[in-house]
């Protein structure tokens, strides 16, 4: 299977592939290397600039590539935001963390959760899964393989955030 990243570019002209234009779309030659059609037609003699294997211009094949859905980019951005929040949680997870810093992080996390709308829910894990500390953090995976971000422990068990509906249901913080 051939995999081509959506942000790939031609190794000859170093231009991004234009998926809507045939001339600047990715094309493969017999050796399997990929370049834009304009560059492949301009090479004389017709040999691959990477491996020097000769190719026939009339046998150049245009690659039809599915564009990456915008949802993938959105998921990457959300994952990045989650990781940043996890780092901030880690910084205030010690017993000696100032209450003001903890409150600021908790407020930022809750604002982030509310901004996620229908795509976020707060779930509880068993205390057996995560060691009991005043504040814990980490990543876990639900049985449906959606990432869960642990926000903090409470007397009733750790509170976690899962990126799936319904809306935020509850939040607890150990006093």
Q: d(Cα 113, Cα 150) in Å, to the nearest integer? A: 12
Residue 70 has a pLDDT of 63
pTM (two decimals): 0.40
CB atoms within 10 A of CB 61: 11
What mean pLDDT do residues 161-173 have?
41
Q: What is the pLDDT of residues 78-115, one digit of tens each?
A: 778 888 888 888 888 777 888 888 888 888 887 877 77
Q: Which two tokens stand for residue 155?
A: 């007397």
Residue 54 has a pLDDT of 94
Q: d(Cα 113, Cα 163) in Å, to the nearest integer? A: 9
Residue 55 has a pLDDT of 93
Domain spans of the chain, in order of start: 1-67, 70-116
Q: What is the pLDDT of residues 12-55, one digit of tens each?
A: 998 888 877 888 889 999 998 999 999 999 998 899 999 999 99
Contact 136, 153 (CB under 8 A): yes
Residue 102 has a pLDDT of 83
Residue 91 has a pLDDT of 83
Whole-Å CA distances, 116 to 66, 110, 150? 27, 10, 16
Q: What is the pLDDT of residues 110-126, one digit of tens each?
A: 787 777 765 555 544 43
Residue 138, strand partner residues = 150
Q: What letter would DSSP give residue 72?
A: H
Q: d(Cα 28, Cα 30) in Å, to the nearest integer? A: 7
Q: What is the pLDDT of residues 127-155, one digit of tens each?
A: 333 333 344 444 333 333 334 444 443 44
Residue 96 has a pLDDT of 82
Q: d(Cα 175, Cα 173) in Å, to the nearest integer? A: 6
Q: What letter would DSSP give residue 101?
A: H
Q: d(Cα 24, Cα 39) in Å, to the nearest integer? A: 9
Homologous superfamily of 1-67 in CATH?
A: Zinc/RING finger domain, C3HC4 (zinc finger) (3.30.40.10)
């Amino acid at each position: 299977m051939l995999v081509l990243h959506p942000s790939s570019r031609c190794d000859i002209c170093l231009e991004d592939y234009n998926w809507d234009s045939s001339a600047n779309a990715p094309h493969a030659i017999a050796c399997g290397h990929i370049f834009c059609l304009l560059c492949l037609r301009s090479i004389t003699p017709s040999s691959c600039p990477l491996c020097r294997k000769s190719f026939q211009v009339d046998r150049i094949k245009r690659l039809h590539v599915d564009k990456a859905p915008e949802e993938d980019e959105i998921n990457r951005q959300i994952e990045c935001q989650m990781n940043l929040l996890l780092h901030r949680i880690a910084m205030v997870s010690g017993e000696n963390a100032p209450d003001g810093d903890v409150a600021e992080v908790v407020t930022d996390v809750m604002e982030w959760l509310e901004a996620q709308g229908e795509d976020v829910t707060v779930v509880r894990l068993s205390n057996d899964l995560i060691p009991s500390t005043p504040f814990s953090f980490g990543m876990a995976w639900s049985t449906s393989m959606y990432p869960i971000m642990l926000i903090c422990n409470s007397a009733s068990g750790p509170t976690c955030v899962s990126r799936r509906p319904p809306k935020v249901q509850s939040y607890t913080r150990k006093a």
